[in-house]
A and B are shown apart, each in its own frame.
Chain A
Amino acid sequence: MTLQHRITQITRDPNLSPKQKSNFLALEAEASLPYMALSDAVTEAKESGIICDMFEGNAPFKPRYVLPDYAKFLQNGSEYLELSPVQDLDEALNALTIIYHHVPSVTNIPVYLGQLDDILLPFCQGLDPETIYRKLKLFWIMLDRTLPDAFMHVNIGPTDNIVCRTILRVDAELKQIAPNLTFMYDPQITPDELLQIAASNICECSKPHIANYPLHANSFDEKGFGIVSCYNSLPLAGGANTLVRINLKEVALKASSVDDFFNQVLPHYCQLTYELIEARAKFLHEESNFFNSFLVKEGLIEESRFAPMFGIYGMAEAVNILLGTPSNHYGHNAAANELGHKISKALDAIVKSTPVKYGYHGLALLHSQGGMNVDKDVTPGVRIPYGTEPNPIVHIQALAEHHQYYTSGISDILTIDETVKANPLAMMQLCKGALSLGFREFSANVASNDLIRVTGYMIKLSDIASFKQAGSRTNTTWLGAEAAVNTKILERQPRVIAHEQSPTHAK
């Protein structure tokens, strides 16, 4: 198809809004530029689907993910945006509304909205709970309607405070796909009662997902971190300059044996991945002029706090291929699980010993990548393939060992039988169990909820149903609709109990 033909199609698409058309047109324009110079080996690995640049574009003029220091912004105001330091909650919400439109990302919509309870709490002194509730609810509706993208992500917790509680209340009430929400849990700080509210919310609307705060905090420096987009943990006041991922399934197919995989093939493709990372980061940092922006000049982000994410996926298939076993072996068999852990450990060693020019303390960050709508017959990250999941506890036990290695994020999505809705205490206990075994994040979908999680973002099943006829005002719906067809997300097995126990329990 010629460029002109594609552009014609986009401009005339009956299901896209003008803004969505503009985005797609911009992508086409960027894609018409020549790619950065790469060696033949990298180009070949890229074209054969072994390494993938996540369609970030041929000339990366903005980082993939940006995490501004919003506390500093509220405190100082912004010369560029002509805003004075914030005095009260109204001004804070107004200032945030403004700056969000100036925070770029791969999606053109901010993927990080801030640790909202921490940054808003100072402006809530003296306000009664009902006022805070009304203001936050309007703010929440505004976010969903004006920044329609479920990669947009809010953090709350681990402390118990009125803003945190109000956000949980509003989020469960509105059941919007956006913003995505992470609740930080620290067993030393977070009361059980608050975690229980979060767990009950999951039963209501599959949000928030729950992060193991001490584990994340220990992975970053005292300046802090944020969780953005779909389960990406990154340095605060920094972000990810790029994400390149490697398809472990394809790598395993190139290996003649397990030893060959570890000694030759995996290191080789990791090296090619690094070459692509370096080329992309170099363009962003040296040619795009992004780091001349007001975000840098006003100290809201620092260039040295950006790191490339070294992503992996297809672990399940890689293990099954290397062991020559049936396709449902991974996740169910001790030897298969251990080989998986060994691969993660090897990747960790490579990433921790390979310097990059533009990295966090000179390094990339290892990431278990949550999949894309185009992935066929390959499982996201280190997850257990859809439809073959064991019961939630075996599931968690099989994967917990991986979590220590994936500094910039790892996730699995447990799909829980809807009987849990009548028993949110069970959801909380499952979450606590997972975090105590070393899970970085706990995410669960409850079967039968309309709002569900795809890879990392949220969609409504009812939106998918109507999408084909009517399009959607939400940018991520089409991803979900495509993923539903290509990646079998809807085939995830709800597991909790054997069928004979449900719905009746008679002897």
Chain B
Amino acid sequence: MVRVATVNQIIPFSCVDGPGSRLVIFLQGCNFNCKNCHNPHTIDMCDSCGDCVATCPVGALSLSLSEVTEAVITKPRVLWDSDKCTQCDTCLSTCPKQSSPKTRQYSVPQMLELIRSQVHFINGITVSGGEATLQLPFIIELFQAIKASPDLKHLSCMIDSNGYLSESGWEQVMPYLDGAMIDLKSWQQHTHHYITGRDNHRVFISLKLLAAEGKLYEIRLLYIPRVSDFDNEINAVAGYLSQLPASVRVKLNAFQHHGVTGEARQWGTCSEQQMQQLAAQLSQRGVRNLVLPNVYL
């Protein structure tokens, strides 16, 4: 069977997803359910209920017919015609699961072809999401193929992840992985659970493992004033971050409302001043390699 990934979006040139310019593959589906998610339509997989089809103003969505092949009956699927689509996002607001029907299936050879068409412009590729590692077998096959191709092997292969992947999962991808960017959503278990719906034990295990392998490129802290607890736990957080290898970038992100739905919309955004204050507290406590946002929207 051909391995395919469900892709939400591909950005051919990004400056913020790892070193240099990168082709970024955003995979659909996430195992966290963060209240503050900026892309909630990437969390759930489309179950082809078809509700969105009727509301699409330009007829870019349709339902395929059931297929009956050798004893297998497939149920209808929502099909998306990207040429007709005007990106009005009516479908996203119609969907009862807040899921996007605007996804596309890519096989590894198709993805390699796409990467080849951009190869002169990029330093590497990053798989992101959603939560990329939910489609780990695809990632492994893709990275393996890149490293085995003379014309592509110079590209660095990075994963941008919530860190929830199991140790054995990381070990499988490790031989082909150049680096990972991991989000640490908050320090305390209960805060982490409140924000994401999951605890953060496995995130710390992932961070430790990647750091030990020299493959932790960046740890990302999203600062949501009065919600995430990095400021209240500043000593513990700073102590932890300064133990990480010196090469690890510590990227501070400022919570904003763009794309956010639900109760997190009521949370205050992070101002430049609040961000500077957190950064100052961390650097006073010996945290180096801090990277701050250059835009506050």
A in complex with B:
yes
Decide if A2 is an interface residue (CB 8 Å cutoff).
no
* B160 contacts across to A, CB distance below 8 A: 505
Say yes or no: is A469 at the interface (Cβ < 8 Å to chain B): no
Flag if B294 contacts A421 (CB, 8 Å). Answer: yes
Which of chain B's residues 145-192 have a Cβ closer than 8 Å to chain A? 160, 162, 183, 185
A498–B130 alpha-carbon span in the complex (Å): 15
Q: What CA separation (Å) do A501 and B26 show in the bound complex? A: 11
Q: At the interface with chain A, which of B16-24, B51-59, B73-81, B240-248?
A: B16-24
Size category of the binding interface on chain A: 35 or more
Q: Are A501 and B296 in contact (CB under 8 A)?
A: no
Cα A177 to Cα B131 in complex, Å, equals 46
CA distance A433 to B129 in the complex (A): 26
Q: Considering residues A437, A499, A501, which has the most beta carbons from chain B within 10 angstroms of its beta carbon?
A: A501
B258 lies within 8 A of A497 (CB) = no
Encode contact with A along B219-262: 1 for CB under 8 Å, 0 otherwise. 01010000000000000000000000000000001111011000
Measured CA separation A116–B167 after assembly (Å): 58
Chain B CB within 8 A of A88 CB: no
Known pairs A393-B118, A423-B19; A501 contacts B14 (CB<8 A): yes
Q: Considering the chains assembled together, what is the distance between the CA atoms of A502 and B24 in angstroms?
A: 14
Q: Which of A443-501 contact B (CB under 8 A)?
A: 496-501
Q: Is B293 an interface residue (CB 8 A)?
A: yes
Residue-wise interface mask of A (169-192) relative to B, using a CB-CB cutoff of 8 A (1 in contact, 0 not): 000000000000000000000000
A504 and B222 within 8 A (CB): yes
Q: Does A158 contact B (CB under 8 A)?
A: no
Q: For the complex, is B297 an interface residue (Cβ under 8 Å from A)?
A: yes
Counting chain B CB atoms within 10 Å of each CB, the highest count among A436, A499, A506 belongs to A506
Pick the residue among A393, A421, A503 that contacts B253 (CB under 8 A).
Answer: A503
- Number of A-B residue pairs having CB atoms within 8 Å of each other in the complex: 126
Of all chain A residues, the one with the shortest Cβ separation from B130 is A507
Chain B interface, >50% SS class: loop
Check: A132 CB closer than 8 A to any chain B CB: no
The distance in angstroms between the C-alpha atoms of A496 and B122, with both chains bound, is 13
User: Is B194 close to A, CB under 8 A?
Assistant: no
A396 contacts B37, CB within 8 Å? no
Would B293 and A503 count as touching, CB distance under 8 A? yes
Assuming the contacts A503-B254, A506-B253, A507-B129, asked whether A422 and B291 have C-beta atoms less than 8 A apart, the reply is yes
Known A430-B13, A504-B255; judge A423-B121 contact (CB<8 A): no
In the assembled complex, A419 has its CB within 8 A of some CB on chain B: yes
Docked pose: A437 CA to B43 CA in angstroms: 38
Would you call A503 and B37 a contact (CB within 8 A)?
Answer: no
Q: Which of B13, B32, B36, B253 makes the CB contact (< 8 A) with A426?
A: B13
A423-B19, A425-B123, A506-B37 known; A418 and B253 CB under 8 Å? no
Are the CB atoms of A501 and B17 closer together than 8 Å? yes
Q: A425-B20, A503-B297, A507-B34 are in contact. Are A498 and B12 (CB under 8 A)?
A: no
Q: Which residues of A contact B9 (CB under 8 A)?
A: 498
Task: Give the residues in chain B near A428, CB-CB below 8 Å.
Answer: 20
In the complex, are the beta carbons of B121 and A391 less than 8 A apart? Answer: no
Q: Which of B252-297 contact A (CB under 8 A)?
A: 253-256, 258-259, 291, 293-297
Q: Do A507 and B295 touch across chains, with their CB atoms under 8 A apart? A: no
Q: Are A419 and B13 in contact, with the CB atoms below 8 A? A: no
Most buried by A among B120, B258, B259: B120
Q: How far is the CB of A403 from chain B (nearest CB, A)?
A: 15
A-side contacts of B13, CB under 8 Å: 391-393, 426, 430, 496-497
Contact residues in B for A391 (Cβ distance below 8 Å)? 11-13
Contact B253 A507 (CB under 8 A): no
Return B146 CB to nearest CB of chain A, in Å. 16
The reply to whether B21 and A430 form a contact with Cβ atoms under 8 Å apart is yes
B250 CB to nearest A CB, Å: 14
A502 touches B16 (CB 8 A): yes
Q: Which one, B12, B15, B42, B254, contacts A417 given CB within 8 A?
A: B15
Q: A394 in the interface, Cβ–Cβ < 8 Å? A: yes
Contacts of B14 in A (CB 8 A): 426, 496-497, 501
Contact A436 B16 (CB under 8 A): no
Chain B residues whose C-beta falls within 8 Å of the C-beta of A426 in the assembled complex: 13-15, 20-22, 123
Q: Is A353 close to B, CB under 8 A?
A: no
| Cα of A389 to Cα of B255 in the assembled complex, Å | 29
Q: Give the residues in chain B near A507, CB-CB below 8 Å.
A: 30, 32, 34, 37-39, 42-43, 129-131, 162, 183
Known contacts: A393-B118, A501-B11. The answer to whether A429 contacts B254 by CB under 8 A is: no
Check B123 against A429 for contact (C-beta < 8 Å): yes
Cα of A437 to Cα of B19 in the assembled complex, Å: 23
A432 close to chain B: CB less than 8 A: yes
Chain B residues, Cβ within 8 Å of A434: 121
**Chain A contacts of B222 at CB under 8 A?**
504, 506
Give bound CA distance, A135 to B122, whole Å. Answer: 38
**Contact between A506 and B21, CB atoms less than 8 A apart:** no
Task: Please determine whether B122 and A429 come into contact, CB atoms closer than 8 angstroms.
Answer: yes
A372 within 8 A of B: no
Cβ contact within 8 Å between A423 and B120: no
Q: Which of A416, A423, A437, A504 has the most CB of B within 10 A?
A: A504
Determine the distance from Cα of A501 to Cα of B14 in the docked complex, in whole angstroms: 9
Alpha-carbon distance between A504 and B130 when the two chains are bound, in angstroms: 14
A210 to B: closest C-beta gap in Å: 14
Cβ A502 vs Cβ B11 within 8 A: no
Closest to A431 in B: B121
Which one, B22, B39, B120, B253, contacts A433 given CB within 8 A?
B120
Contact of A497 among B11, B256, B294, B296 (CB under 8 A): B11
Q: Chain B residues near A429: list those with CB within 8 A.
A: 20-21, 121-123
With A425-B21, A505-B220, A507-B162 as given contacts, are A496 and B256 in contact (CB-CB < 8 Å)?
no
| A110-B130 Cα distance, complex, nearest whole Å | 56
Query: Is A296 in the interface zone, CB < 8 Å from B?
Result: no
Q: Enumerate the 8 nearest inter-chain pairs by beta-carbon distance, A residue then B residue, closest first.
A: A433-B121, A426-B21, A433-B120, A504-B253, A425-B20, A423-B15, A426-B15, A503-B293
23 pairs of residues in contact across A and B, judged by CB atoms under 8 Å: A393-B13, A393-B118, A417-B15, A422-B294, A423-B16, A425-B19, A426-B123, A429-B20, A429-B121, A433-B121, A434-B121, A436-B120, A496-B13, A497-B14, A501-B11, A502-B16, A504-B256, A505-B16, A505-B160, A505-B253, A507-B43, A507-B129, A507-B183
